[in-house]
Structure formats: structure tokens, C-alpha cells
Structure 1
């Protein structure tokens, strides 16, 4: 893969006295392209803007060019003369030239060149998929100059760093309707993601429309599953945008939904019931039962028929083997076949499953538990386990690459953990300083974000994914050197608004939830508070999976909060600037004064809404923190010395404010603590 970025852009920026961040600031692109060369002037967009297609391309390009035209018309409100793009056109504003039709497959060419002049624009690419990526970049470049809609004059040469840039949606624990999938595919295409991984089966539900086993839909779906027409439409919609779709049928563990309908396939003679809680459960397929493989053969034949992608995810994770341990026949089978551990037995199972998939022309993919010395190297290892801060996070990724497997990273990209975008953004699947040979490095295909849906429903999934998913998309597309977190956040705010225009509800859902909770349109005090809190991190909001069930309410206070409390982050940064002398005190005072009075405004709303009682102490602590901030700034500005009692009282309030409220946590504590610390030594 070409690597122009490090050398040519660094030289260009040095010559013109620019930095990488300055270039990003000027263009607001996400992901940042591989190579950018800016010019002078603008291309002015008028109502005569038109598009011409040339070369050998798939019909999807005409569809996507038309969609681009309509989206651009919505942004500029110019009422374009051209309404549909169908082929070559004389004197077109934008000419797209493609060498060959693209294929929806791994390793397909996605590079493109975009040239914007003052009079014309050109996109050239080997495949129409590359041209579609270029159209998304051009749309992000839309701006305004002197009251006119414009594109800046520039040349971009761009190609992705990784070929696998995915998003896993868990549609088993909470079913996601078609409109959710459609709008998220649009968002994926906007930031150049190219794999949608559908987790279709788990302990809480079976969502695949099997004809061979209707009992699964009757007993294990709660009536919520996709029809074959639904899946055909989703796959076609994704392919139109250059996105692959791969299925996951999780076996042999996470098998409750299967065993509810077919208990005879289980490892324990018991009655199985569909799981309503979250966690790791014992129901497991019996690897010693040939009927299990007959069942999977028929089921996988159906799945393979619906999903054309050659990769098929078998899960394979979190099988503790307790039911295997309790089954005397299984233990005897293990002894007779020299299978010393449950992991050995699962490897036996995986190899038999892989042979079934091979029969249908499918490559096996599974979570990293499937990696054993006996597993054929044709399998893709999906790395997910470990503490994702440090090398151990990616150990299975590197072990797989060194052992000869192609591999994909998800550890560090679990968006359901509700970590801020900055933490995901800096997780790199294959940094340059990692000790890997070129061959080993080439086996790291890329990464895949995971959105497990234990705590996510259709009304909130967008706000749990976006805009953070765009930051990970940049990590997987852009050069490794693009790592400016501050500029990422600045551009992310802009991209977030652009994503909303695609129909995402990641912004609007907050107010919907707050109005429901407040039982009123008067939600401004709640907005002030929710903008400085984040949901409890990791799985602490639902410790051990025992608080929430499948049908618990998921439109509560914590569901209105997002993983990145932008107002709080900016406040903490402003405190640092103030203490360093680069920010006036009045800017902090104005915000702190608003916050100090907010609890009195929140109380009447709480009094009419019992669902908000859980945030009363949170709201009170927030206003108490603001009062401390105002007092601290007053002392700093006047040169006064605080009493020892004041410092002690402040520390007590800070400690009390660290307690969660409404399953959320205040994020302004560090900023207030810095102000107090500034006065401690006086």
C-alpha cells in the first residue's frame, strides 16, 4: 500500500509553516485522507452542478452518484437542474472515471484520487467502490465562501490503511428493526466502514429466518426476527454502499435460544428457557452428539444461501463447559478420544463445524477462543479478550498473526463499554513499533467495533454508536500518524451533525428521553445536568447482568447520557487554561454560576417525575461543585488564602460527588479539584 503521507505532507507543511492539525482544521475531513495537497481558490457550486460517469463500472455507482447529488442539493439548497446520474454528460461539473466494476469482497481496491479545480472536479478510481469513497470525501468538503456554497481547490490521493473496517451489531439480545440497520449502514458508508457483522443468535434470541427449523422462530424469537426478504434487502442496501455483510451464529456456547426449541441437542437433560438477563450462561451444544452436526449442517446451509460473503462467524466464545463437566457420556467421549480439556473438546467441535462450512464455500471466523494448534490456518481469528490498555489487549491478535492466521481486532473497540472516543481512537491494530515481520503484519486485516445490546435498544443504539464510531473508522482508514486527539474531537463534532442529516437519532434521542422523564417540554435544567455526566463505564451499570432484563426500561436517565460529556471535557480543559494564564476567569464564572443555580430548577421536575428521583443527589452535588468552583476562582483572583476548614469541606464534597446517580457519573470533578488544589498550599 502506498504511504505518501509521512514524507510528502510533512515536507509540504514544513515549507508552508503548517502542521497536520492545521491541515485537518481547514478541511474537517473524517477519516483524514492519506495524501492531501491544497491549492488556491474555490469551486463554486451552482444549480447547474452536474455529474458524468465514464469507464467500466457497476450500476451501483450511478445510484450512489445520484444519492450524492441529492444530498449535496439538500446541503446547498440550490435546486439542481440534474436530478439523476446515468452515464456520460457533456461539460459536467464532476467527472467520475472508473477502470472496472468493484466486487464486494475482502481486499477489494478502495483507493481513489479527487482533484478539485476552480472550474471542474474529477474523481478517478480503479473500482466504483473507490469512487464511492471519494464521493463521501467530496461531500464532507462542502463549505461556504462569501455567501456561496463551495469546494476548496485541492488534490487528494487516498487509500485505506486496513481492509477490514467493521461494525458488529448484536441484534440477538435486543432486536434491531430494519430502519435501524438502514440508517446505520448510511452512517457506516459516510465514514468509509466496509463490514457489517450481524450477531444473529444468542441466549436471549434467535433472529435468522430458518425454514428448516420453524420451532426456533416460534419459541426463541419473541416474534422478532428478520424475514429472508429483510436480509436480502439489507445485504443489497449494504452492497450498494460497498459494505460486506457477514452473519454470526454463535456455537457451541450462548446456545440457550437453540436449546429452548431443541433441548435434545444440549449437554444437559433439562428444560431450557429463553434467557432474560445478561451474562455468561451454561447451556451448550453437545459436541459428542452427531445430531448436533446434522442440525448445524441444515441451518448453516440456509444461512450460507442468504449471505453471499465467503466469511461465516461461528462465535465460539465464553464457553465455560460446566454442562460438559456434568455429563458422564461427554466425559467418557473425551477420555476415549484423548481430549484432555474442554478447550480440546471445543476444538474438536470447531473443526467439524469448519468442515460443514467448507462444504458451502465458507471460511470460518470466530472469537479468539477458537485459536488452538489444531485449528486450520484458513480460519480468521477475531481478537477480543484482555485488558485493552496495553500490549495484553492485543496479545491474541499478534499471537494469531505470528501463528499464520489472518486476524481482526475488536479489543479496544467495544463501544458498549461507554468509554470516551479518545480511548478507542488511540487503539491501533498494528502500530509501526510492534515487533512483527511484514508477513505477520499483513495478516492483521483491521478492526471491528462491537455494539453488544444488553443495555441498548432501537431508540438508543445510535447514541451508543455515534459519533464515536467515526473516530474508530478514522483509526482504521487513515495513516497511523494521524493521532491528534484534540483535533479529532473538533472534527468529530462537525461530522456528528453531518451524520444526523443521514437520519441518525444520536442527537435527537436525548431530548426525547428527557421529555419523557420530565413529563414536560421544560427540560433545559435536565439538559444542563446530562451534558456533564457519562454512564457508568464498562459493565458496572449492570453488574453481573442482574439489574436489567430484556424487557426492562431503557429510556432512563443513563440512556440520555452519552460516553463523551463534551461540555464537561471542555470545562476541564478550560480550567487548565485558566490556571496556566491563557483564559480569563469570567468565562469559567459564567458557566459555574449557571451550574450553581441548576439544582433549584431541577427539583420541581424531579417532584413531578418519580423516575428522576435517582438523580436528586447527583444534581445537588453538581451545584455544590459549581459553588466550590466559584469560591476557588474568587480566592485565586483576589489572592486570598482559604481556611483549612474550607479545603476540608471541599474535599468532602468532591468525594461525595464521585458517587454515581441515576447510573451516571459527574465528569467535572477533575476540573473543580484542580481549582481546589491550586489553593491547597497557600
Structure 2
């Protein structure tokens, strides 16, 4: 007997893969959108979901079932009523937790119950995550829409790089991220464990390495690896050499290319010291350290870093220069290439595959080194042309503070997607430099062929934590990671940003209700700005603002001492729901849809009143002083919208306010302007610029 009866959604889309403008009936609240979805006619009410295993479940699968039931209870509570039975048929996959694992699954839900089948544990985990997102809540309780799903990922490697060196991240916070990653089908934690600011994993072979700051014990590392594995997530460590090595070199200065400073480095300066690749003791040290670390991480891939080596560390050292001359090594890139080859060989001998940042590919290195492109999309194409497999992280750096849509609209295969364009370079007029060349687009780059695409192992987002404390991790990763996860999993033709935003909000709600703490942490941080005194007007104003992008906050921190964690810049969201709604309503109204007027008036009125009422608070608390001029502009702009909707004259300062906010938005729009142009006070500006432009121009 069939479990469901077929019925198309109103827009006629049944197969969600290949749909560029999906209707809500297609995608509902699913994120990532599955490969193929067919919805039936009936809504199935239930009070609980009972799992029935078709054969004895493994401990990992039993735990997954228990997690699912616990999460479901947090979403719908416990009530009496019909029980929905889900039959699970799980195959055993010998390649589970490898790149070759079988992740596809088949899920059906109908009046007679549900069926979830997969060839391995990964598919079952993904199917349970999808089923949880299918749960709808209404006046009559919980329900499921009848339907059938056939699903599998576009990319096998869907990673999250989390930097725990610059700011240490607690075990509890790490586990929350792994829980959320499981629910949106992200399956690799790229754990950046070492940098100039600290070496964050216990070494028993080199105990002095842990002198700077906190670190994870080896038992804690094993705990996280096991916790991730239970959720279908691989853990790939990164131990960065030969640059970003100050924490190592403080403990073992004999490995340093240049004498270390007498005072401790902080901030960007911690990235300066580099290892001496010509010293035999350096490679011996790396081999012993990596051998120890590999006992903690079962994954075959091992990230050795290799980025941002300061050339002067080598080119201004007479002994290293003499070595290069004697061995006919022409430049620092070639010297690093030889060191990379040695590191790759020692990892190969230990049964591992080396990953390195794209800098290691500027000189020939062994073909089995996986190149991770981060400085621009062209590095993906260059590495593939050189015969390397690649990971793509360019375009997915969350610490740039770009909104979800900016990442969502970048395709990993697009070799022109990320990089400074000729027009951006022309506008900023920087002096020619190797840095500009590295981060610039190559307009002549040809699209990847199918053969080239086969070299893309997967994709990673990255969160570097120079300005991100443990308390800020949840908010800085989510909900944007869910949008990125969809880009990594779903069809490249799924590009409806408006529908993505709708589902992103629903996904964030689910993640918060099942354990994520981003909203709770933001509330605490906002309260701290006002000495613990709640301020509704301040919250409304902060919800109307967005942070400056492209490392503006880093520069304000380094140059002007901005304490991001304890400032408005630390508690405003690139994806403010109020701003997104306002911009969408404004676009509709500007295109003649007058039904948008009531909601527009409500939002503009809220901002107008809040901007008036918050002035006393701003003048009272020093942490808010940078908000003053921005809030005045918000008052002018929201007042102008109210005047337009009421048919009255707008304030005289409207044009000046809009021009100021347009300038702040433009000056933070790319990496060059963010360096060379003035920026918004405190690194925040009015988020609804596009909406105000649509309504007021």
C-alpha cells in the first residue's frame, strides 16, 4: 500500500533540484533543500515519532535515534495522541567517515507511517535531520506533510574551519557546533589548533609547546573526535608550519628563522615569526610532532597550513640565503616548496594525505598535496591545472561579516566568483604589489571542465577568531552556516535568495530550540553594554544595524582599539531579520505592491520611535558612544519613510543621511575599499540601505 498520494505544489515544481525559483510548498522549511522532493496531499498529525529498526541497530545508530527523539521532544513537547512509526533500514558502510562514504538516503512519510533507508550510517543521520525539519507545529499540534524524498549531497566534503588558537573555544561550545552541523549536514570539522597565538592541543612529546594559554588535553581531543564521529562528522586537524608558528617557536626558539623578540607578540605580529626550513632539526621536530598528533586523529587527511609565511624571515637571514644559493633555490616560494615536499613525504610515510593553503602551490609540490584555495577563486583553477585535488574556501569566510546571501550566491566551481575585480582595483588605485596580485581576480580564467570539477573534493567555510570569543561563536557561525551548508549540499540552480531567507529563519529557530545559544548569548552581550539594564529601544536600533564587512572590524580593533566583543559591532547581525524584511517589503512597494505598506510602516515606525528614545541610553553608556550619528541617520531615514507612506513632506536631512549610509555601505563592500576609505563609526551602519534607496530615491 503506498504511503502517500502524489500532488504537485501550486507552482508546479516537484523535483526541487534544478529549480531556480522554488515555491514555499516545494521547499517548506527544509535546509539544505533535498535533491528530489514529491509532496503528497495529506497532513499527518502525531504526538510522537517511534523508531522501528528493521534489524538490530548499532550503538551509533541507537544513539542517533535517541538524539532524534530528544530533539523532537524539545520541539513539540510531550502530549497524548497518535504515534508516527518510522521504519529504518540501515546498511553498513565500510567507508563511513571517509570521503567515499555513502550519504544518500530515501525517506517516505505517509498515513501508514514512514520509511527511512540508506546504505550506511551517514544517510540515516541525514534522513533523520530532514525528518526533524519536516515537523510542523500548529494549533492542532505537530504534523508531517505526506511526501517522498530522494536525497544526496553535491559535495562529499562539507567543512567548517574553526580557529581555536586566537580565541580558545570550550568543549561545551565545540559540541554545540557539532550538534548544529549534524542538523544541516555539514560533515567535516577543520580544527585549526595552532597559530602564533597558541598551540591548543596537549603534546606529551613537546610539553613546552603548551606554554601559551589554555589547551585541550589529549583525552578531550579524543572526546571531541568521538562526539563528532557519532554525528557523522570527520575531524581534520590543522597544525600550521612553517609560518604562524610563534607559539611553537617561543617554546623551541632554536627552530626559528630569526631571533624572537624579547617581548611577546600580540595581534597580527604573532604571525611574523617563521620556522627555519634549512635547519635539519625543524623537519625532525615536525615529523615527531605530527606523529604524535596523528594518534589523536584517525582521518587520513592532515592540514599542514603553509600560509602567509613572511618572506623577510628567510630573505634577510644570511645563513638561509647562503643555503639557498648553495642549493640553487631562487626565492622564498621555492624554498617553501622544498619544505612542503618534505612535509608531504613524511605525512605520506605515516599514511596521511597533506592539505595545504594555496600559498604552497606557488612553487611545484607533490601532486598528492590537496590545495585549499582561500585568497581568491583563481587559486582553485590554478591548483587543478597543476594536477592537484582541491578544497574551496574562498568566498566562504564568515569572519568577513558578509550576509548569508553573499556566500549563498557563490558557486564553488565558479573560478571568477571571489577576488578583487579590475573595476574595484581601478576605483581604489592601490600601488601594485604581490598582495594585490594574490587577491585579484583573473578575468581570463576559463570555467572548470567536468574533468576539472572532479578535482574539487569539497568546500569549507571558515571562522577565524581574532575578534570572536567563546561567547560569540554561536552567533558568528549561525545561522549563516546553514545557508552555506545548502550551497555545499544542494543544486547549484537553487538560487532563490528570498526563499532561502525564509527557510534560514525557520532553521535558526529549530537550531536554537534544540541547543544552539546564539540568541541567548547576544542578549547577554547586549545587556552588558548597558550595565545589565534592559533597553527595548536599544535592541530595536541594534536590529536595524549591520556590521562593517571585509575585515573593517579587525582594522578598527588594531588601529583604534575597538573592543568588538563589548561594543555594538559584536552584537549586530549580518542577517538581521528586521533588515531583511524591510528591504524585501521596500522592493515590493517600489515595484507597485501597495500591500507591503502596512508592514513597512510598522517597521519604520518602530525604528523611528526607538532611535528617538535611545539617545539618553547612548549618552549614558560609553560603549554606545559610536552609535550617536548612525542612530540620528536611522531616525531621519525611518521618518522619511513614514512621511512617504503618509503622503507628507520628508525631513530636510534625509538626503544627507542616506548619502552617508550609502557611503559607509560602499566603503566596506570590498577588501580594498575597507582599507583605503573611511568607515562607519564603531564599524556599524544602517542595514536597510537598499530598502531606503528603493523608497526614497
Give the structure-2-normalised TM-score: 0.87
Distance 1:623 1:212 in 2: 61
Cα distance change of structure 1 residues 66 and 431 upon mapping to structure 2, 3 Å threshold: same
**What is aligned with 2:683?**
663
Return the match for 1:98 from 82, 85, 90. 90
Q: Deviations over 1:62-90 (max 9, x none)?
A: 110111112112222236899xxxxxxxx
User: Which residue is equivalent to 1:651?
Assistant: 655
SS in 1 for 2:191: strand
Of 463, 479, 483, which aligns to 1:471? Answer: 483
Measured in 2, the distance between the counterparts of 1:100 and 1:9 equals 36
The residue number in structure 2 matching 1:109 is 102
> 1:46 and 1:9 mapped to 2: Cα distance?
26
Q: Tell me if structure 2 keeps the 8 A contact 1:25–1:487.
A: no
1:540 to 552, 558, 577: 552
- Distance between the aligned counterparts of 2:497 and 2:337, measured in 1? 42
Q: Sort the Cα spacing of 1:80 and 1:70 in 2 relative to 1 into closer, same or farther, 3 A.
A: farther
Partner of 2:171: 178
Q: Over aligned residue pairs, what C-alpha RMSD do you find?
A: 2.8
Distance 2:531 2:637 in 1: 27
The answer to whether structure 1 residue 442 and structure 2 residue 454 are counterparts is yes
The answer to which of 413-422 and 137-146 deviates more is: 137-146
Q: Deviations over 1:312-362 (max 9, x none)?
A: 101101113111111111001111111101000001111111122122211
1:168 Cα offset (Å): 0.2
Alignment-derived partner of residue 680 in structure 1? none
For the residue of structure 2 that corresponds to 1:100, the secondary structure is coil
**Would you say the 8 A contact 2:46–2:141 is kept in 1?**
yes
- Work out whether residues 43 and 119 of structure 1, in 8 Å CA contact, stay in contact via their aligned partners in 2: no
1:13·1:20 contact (CA, 8 Å) conserved in 2? no
CA contact (8 A) 1:58 1:128 kept: no
Of the three residues 402, 408, 412, the one matched with 1:425 is 408
Q: How far 1:614 moved relative to its partner?
A: 2.0
Structure 2 match to 1:390: none
**Which residue, 390, 396, 403 being the options, matches 1:407?**
390
Q: TM-score, normalised by structure 1?
A: 0.88
Judge conservation of contact 2:11–2:23 (CA < 8 Å) in 1: no
Structure 1 contact 535–664 (Cα < 8 Å) conserved: yes
C-alpha deviations, 1:216-250, integer Å up to 9, x for none? 112xx22x100011100000000001100011011
Residue of structure 2 aligned with 1:194, choices 182, 187, 204: 187
| Partner SS for 1:13 | coil
The DSSP-based 3-state class of the residue aligned with 2:271 is coil
Give the equivalent residue in structure 1 for 2:582.
571
Instruction: Could you tell me which runs of 5 or more consecutive residues in structure 2 were left unpaired when the two chains were aligned.
Output: 1-7, 417-445, 665-679
Distance (Å, rounded) in 2 between the aligned partners of 1:431 and 1:10: 32
CA distance in structure 2 between the partners assigned to 1:23 and 1:613 by the alignment: 42
How far 1:588 sits from its partner (Å)?
2.9
User: Which residue in 1 is equivalent to 2:430?
Assistant: none
Question: Partner of 1:259 in structure 2?
Answer: 249
Q: For 1:363 and 1:15, how far apart are their aligned partners in 2?
A: 38
Q: 1:365-384, aligned counterparts within 5 Å?
A: 365-372=355-362, 374-384=364-374
In the TM superposition, what are the counterparts of 1:198-237 in structure 2 within 5 Å? 198-218=191-211, 221-222=212-213, 224-237=214-227
Report the more deviating stretch, 612-621 or 244-253.
612-621
CA apart distance, 1:150: 1.6
C-alpha distance in 2 between matches for 1:10 and 1:440? 39
What is the DSSP-based 3-state SS (H/G/I as helix, E as strand, rest coil) of the residue aligned with 2:190? strand
Local SS of the residue matching 2:380? helix
Q: Is the 8 A contact 1:13 1:19 kept in 2?
A: no
Q: How much does 1:461 deviate?
A: 1.2
Cα 1:656–1:13 change in 2 (3 A) is closer
Secondary structure of the residue aligned to 1:594 is helix
Q: CA deviation at 1:294?
A: 1.3
Q: Which residue of 1 aligns with 2:62?
A: 62
1:183·1:504 contact (CA, 8 Å) conserved in 2?
A: yes
Q: Aligned runs of 1:253-652 on 2, under 5 Å?
A: 253-271=243-261, 273-278=263-268, 281-372=271-362, 374-386=364-376, 394-430=377-413, 435-543=447-555, 546-547=558-559, 554-584=565-595, 585-634=597-646, 637=647, 649-652=653-656
Distance 1:525 1:268, change over 3 A: same
* Aligned residue in 2 for 1:130: 123
CA distance in 1, matches of 2:177, 2:311: 36
Residue 22 of structure 2 aligns to a residue whose secondary structure is helix
Q: 2:152 aligns with which of 159, 162, 166?
A: 159
Contact 1:541 1:663 in 2 (8 A): yes
Moved more, 228-237 or 292-301: 292-301
Deviation of 1:522 (Å): 2.7
Helix, strand or coil at the partner of 2:324: helix
Q: How many equivalent residue pairs?
A: 641
Q: Secondary structure at the match of 1:352?
A: helix
CA distance change for structure 1 residues 40 and 522 in 2, over 3 Å: closer, same or farther?
same
Measured at CA, do residues 383 and 280 of structure 1 come closer, stay the same or move farther in structure 2, by a change above 3 Å?
Answer: farther
Deviations 1:111-162 (A, max 9, x none): 0000111111100000021111100000100114660322111110000000
Q: Unpaired runs of 5+ in structure 1?
A: 1-7, 83-90, 387-393, 678-682
